[in-house]
């Protein structure tokens, strides 16, 4: 486990930013940002080929945050990776900020696609993967989907197309934290049997614990070895992960901590780190 | 005006020409390539053509991703599906991030004909025009359609190109140059200005001939560039004639008529009338029958002109 201490530290830093940013903004989506922090930490600090000084570098890897409401997580990762100053994170959701409530690719370096309207990110990722293949680039495209998000029909149109066009340079993560705004995913609109669905659509499916660095890294390694098929990594996660009173609590999907709650959350995150 | 060519036919051929000149052009279709004429491009450039199946929402998003990868995607389907089924994808995945995607939709308007109202888009100009960052072009004939393909490929940003199914009269010769944001004055008169787009430009010219026989002198303007609209040319014509008619194969709500009304009411109010589909869905019939049924003929424009002139 200690092999991954630098990733664990990064993820805890991202989690602290998420708490601080949403608290300062007075709104935002901490629950689903915290659940995917370990995955995003591996992507930005281990897996992806990026150059913060050249955000338009054609040979870079791409990340599409299809569950765009986890914007605080993406912004924290980009700032920590050096795309802009950490200081700017405080401007989240403020008038004139480049850190819009949901990611706006026009204005913020490192944001590959404007997302937030659910179900649209995988299609864009497919297009990026197709463009890389046309240009014979070995760039890889990563996309993070929410579990509630895959209730959108467009996701399955895109799933079909990614397999049809054999996009083996595309890896999707499903942040399977089991909760959506109205309650447990199983009660609102079950997505099960989720692994079978993706397999039936022609994808290579890997199921992991989305907080286990060894499993995340091994899954990404396995995906690199898959040819002629896209890969989805179905990651079981805990919504609100890392903040005891937010964990598995649906209410923290879309509400920000007040200053007292933020202080408590930060104390826990510092202790753990 | 004797020759007749469908604007979708001109689009298909122009796209092949463009593909030869520009290797970044890619084309996506949703199982309608034989009808939209993107099949011509597919035949010559199979590696740059993507049939996305009957899934327009994913097609728009994929085009967005291709644009982000430096490509110039042309996306085709019928206008109803391109702008209706995939509206929110056009909004959030293309217009909001201002991506370089060209939506070339065919079978617009009632001249789809026998397929009926489910397939006849009468609101596409309205919804595309309301999107920030979107350019909206409605060519009058095959020559203008082909030129519009080149023009929209040369500009950076999202565009909606509205094309038709039936063969329509060729108005322009090959010396004509279409420019985004410019209207073209086909005929100058003193009594009334007819501002038209698409297949209604030919009807407007025919109406002007008939009006002349009755001693009424009409200006005819082709406003193919609906957004950005050539405000200067239209305001000048309104000032010179004091009465304006718009003519479009579209609902009178939200299309060219609305765009011109918005302009005139703020800058130069004059008597005005919109010729178009009067807030109804289409129905089955031959294109010619439907043009008469929905009041989209030269005679309808003549009657409207006489009405506004009387109101001056």
Domain residue extents for chain B: 4-169, 184-310
Quick check: do B4-169 and B184-310 share a fold?
yes
Report which of B104, B97, B41 is spatially closest to residue B68, judged by C-alpha positions.
B97
Q: Is B213 helix (H, G, I), strand (E, B) or coil?
A: helix
Q: For chain B, say whether A58 makes contact (Cβ under 8 Å).
A: yes
Average pLDDT, chain B: 97
Q: What are φ and ψ of residue B95, in 5° steps?
A: -75, -40
B228 touches chain A (CB under 8 A): no
Three state DSSP letters for chain A:
CHHHHHHHHHHHHHHHHHHHHHHHHCCCCHHHHHHCHHHHHHHHHHHCCCCCCCCCCCCCCEEEECCHHHHHHHHHHHHHHCCCCHHHHHHCCCCCCCCCCCCCCCCCCCCCCCCCCCCCHHHHHHHHHHHHHHCCCCCCEEEEEECCHHHCHHHHHHHHHHHHCCCCCEEEEEEECCEECCEEHHHHHCCCCHHHHHHHCCCEEEEEECCCHHHHHHHHHHHHCCCCCCEEEEEECCCCCCCCCCCCCHHHCCCCCCHHHHHHHHHHHHHHC
User: pLDDT of chain A along its 273 residues, tens only?
Assistant: 468 999 999 999 999 999 999 999 999 999 999 999 999 999 999 999 999 999 999 999 999 999 999 999 999 999 999 999 999 999 999 999 999 999 999 999 999 999 999 999 999 999 999 999 999 999 999 999 999 999 999 999 999 999 999 999 999 999 999 999 999 999 999 999 999 999 999 999 999 999 999 999 999 999 999 999 999 999 999 999 999 999 999 999 999 999 999 999 999 998 765
According to CATH, the topology of domain A2-272 is: Rossmann fold (3.40.50)
Please indicate whether, in this complex, the C-beta atoms of B65 and A124 are within 8 angstroms of each other: yes
CB contact under 8 A, A120 and B92: yes
Prior bond to B228 cis, omega within 30?
yes
CA distance B113 to A166: 39
> Which class in CATH covers the domain with range B184-310?
alpha beta
Q: Per-residue pLDDT tens for A196-233?
A: 999 999 999 999 999 999 999 999 999 999 999 999 99
Alpha helix stretches (DSSP H) within chain B: 7-21, 33-36, 39-44, 56-68, 79-80, 87-89, 124-129, 142-154, 200-213, 231-241, 256-267, 287-293, 298-310
Which of the residues B9, B56, B123, B249 is marked catalytic? B56
A204: left (phi > 0), else alpha (psi -120 to 50), else beta?
beta
Cβ of A157 within 8 Å of Cβ of B55? The answer is yes
Pairing of β A231-236 and β A204-209: parallel
User: Does the structure's ipTM exceed the value 0.90?
Assistant: yes
**Could you tell me if A161 lies within 8 Å of chain B, comparing CB atoms?**
yes
Q: Which of residues 31-90 of B touch A (CB under 8 A)?
A: 47-48, 50, 52-53, 55, 57-71, 73, 88-89
Q: Is B56 considered catalytic here?
A: yes
Q: Write the pLDDT tens digit of every residue in B73-118.
A: 999 999 999 999 999 999 999 999 999 999 999 999 999 999 999 9
Say which CATH class B4-169 falls into.
alpha beta
Partner B contacted by A116 (CB < 8 A): yes
Return d(Cα B59, Cα B105) in angstroms, integer. Answer: 13
- Determine the pLDDT at residue A270: 86
Q: Which residues of chain B fall short of a pLDDT of 50? A: none
User: What does residue A45 show for φ and ψ, rounded to 5 degrees?
Assistant: -115, 10
Q: Is B235 exposed, middle or buried (0-12, 13-18, 19+ CB in 10 A)?
A: middle
CA distance B123 to B153: 24
Residue range B121-138, pLDDT digits in tens: 999 999 999 999 999 999
B4 neighbors B141 (Cβ within 8 angstroms): no
Mutation to test the A interface, candidates B61, B70, B132, most A Cβ within 10 Å: B61
Residues of chain B neighbouring A128 (CB-CB closer than 8 A): 65-66, 68-69
Q: Identify the H or E element spanning B196.
A: strand B192-196
To test the contact with chain B by mutation, choose from A127, A130, A138, A167 the residue with the greatest count of B C-beta atoms within 10 A, namely A127
* pLDDT score recorded for residue A271: 73
Q: How far is B100 from chain A (nearest CA, A)?
A: 12
Which residues from chain B sit within 8 angstroms of residue A134, using beta carbons?
A: 26, 47-48, 69, 71
Q: How far apart are CA A191 and CA B165, in angstroms?
A: 41
What confidence score (pLDDT) does residue A2 get? 62
Phi-psi region of A140 (alpha: psi -120 to 50; beta: other; left: phi over 0): beta
8 Å CB contact of A106 and B98: yes
From the list A120, A127, A110, A124, the residue with the least C-alpha distance to A73 is A110
Distance (Å, whole) CA B246 – CA B252: 9
Q: Nearest CA to CA, how far is A90 from chain B (Å)?
A: 23
B47 contacts A127? CB cut-off 8 A: no
Is B23 an 8 Å CB contact of chain A? no
Gap from A224 CA to chain B (nearest CA, Å): 21
User: Given this model, what pLDDT does residue A272 score?
Assistant: 65
Looking at residue B125, what DSSP letter applies? H
């Amino acid at each position: 486990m200690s092999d991954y201490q630098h990733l664990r530290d990064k993820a805890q830093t991202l989690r602290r930013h998420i708490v601080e940013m949403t608290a300062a903004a007075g709104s935002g989506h901490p629950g689903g940002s915290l659940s995917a922090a370990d995955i995003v930490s591996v992507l930005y600090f281990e897996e992806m080929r990026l150059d913060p000084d050249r955000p338009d570098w054609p040979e870079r890897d791409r990340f599409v945050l299809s569950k765009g409401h986890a914007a605080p997580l993406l912004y924290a990762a980009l700032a920590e990776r050096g795309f802009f100053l950490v200081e700017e994170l405080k401007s989240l959701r403020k008038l004139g900020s480049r850190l819009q409530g949901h990611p706006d690719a026009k204005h913020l370096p490192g944001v590959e696609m404007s997302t937030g309207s659910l179900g649209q990110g995988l299609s864009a990722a497919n297009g990026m993967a197709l463009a890389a293949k046309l240009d014979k680039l070995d760039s890889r495209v990563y996309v993070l989907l929410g579990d509630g998000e895959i209730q959108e029909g467009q996701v399955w149109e895109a799933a079909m197309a990614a397999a049809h066009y054999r996009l083996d340079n595309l890896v999707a993560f499903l942040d399977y934290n089991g909760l959506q705004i109205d309650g447990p995913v199983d009660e609102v609109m079950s997505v099960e049997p989720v692994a079978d669905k993706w397999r039936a659509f022609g994808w290579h499916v890997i199921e992991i614990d989305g907080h286990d660095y060894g499993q995340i890294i091994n899954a990404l390694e396995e995906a690199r070895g898959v040819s002629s098929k896209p890969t989805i990594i179905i990651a079981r996660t805990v919504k609100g992960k890392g903040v005891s009173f937010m964990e598995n609590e649906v209410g923290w999907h879309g509400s920000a901590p007040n200053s007292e709650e933020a202080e408590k959350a930060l104390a826990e995150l510092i202790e753990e780190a | 005006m004797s020759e007749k060519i469908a604007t979708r036919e001109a689009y298909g051929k122009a796209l092949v020409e463009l593909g030869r000149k520009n290797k970044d052009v890619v084309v996506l279709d949703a199982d309608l390539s034989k009808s939209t004429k993107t099949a011509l491009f597919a035949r010559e450039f199979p590696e740059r053509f993507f049939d996305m199946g009957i899934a327009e929402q994913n097609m728009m998003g994929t085009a967005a991703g291709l644009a982000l990868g430096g490509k110039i995607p042309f996306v085709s389907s019928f206008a109803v599906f391109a702008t209706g089924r995939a509206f929110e994808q056009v909004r959030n995945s293309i217009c909001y991030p201002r991506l370089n995607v060209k939506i070339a939709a065919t079978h617009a308007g009632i001249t789809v004909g026998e397929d009926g109202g489910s397939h006849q888009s009468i609101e596409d100009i309205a919804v595309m025009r309301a999107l920030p960052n979107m350019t909206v072009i409605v060519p009058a004939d095959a020559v203008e359609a082909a030129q519009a393909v080149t023009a929209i490929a040369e500009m950076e940003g999202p565009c909606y190109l509205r094309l038709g199914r039936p063969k329509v009269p060729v108005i322009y010769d090959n010396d004509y140059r279409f420019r985004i944001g410019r209207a073209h004055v086909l005929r100058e008169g003193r009594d009334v200005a007819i501002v038209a787009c698409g297949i209604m430009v030919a009807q407007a010219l025919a109406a002007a001939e008939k009006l002349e026989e009755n001693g009424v002198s009409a200006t005819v303007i082709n406003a193919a560039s609906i957004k950005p609209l050539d405000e200067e040319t239209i305001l000048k014509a309104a000032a010179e004639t004091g009465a304006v008619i718009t003519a479009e194969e579209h609902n009178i709500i939200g299309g060219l008529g609305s765009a011109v009304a918005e302009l005139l009411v703020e800058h130069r109010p004059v008597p005005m009338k919109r010729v178009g589909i009067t807030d109804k869905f289409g129905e089955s019939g031959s294109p010619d029958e439907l043009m008469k049924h929905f009041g989209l003929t030269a005679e309808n424009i003549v009657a409207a002109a006489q009405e506004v002139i009387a109101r001056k």
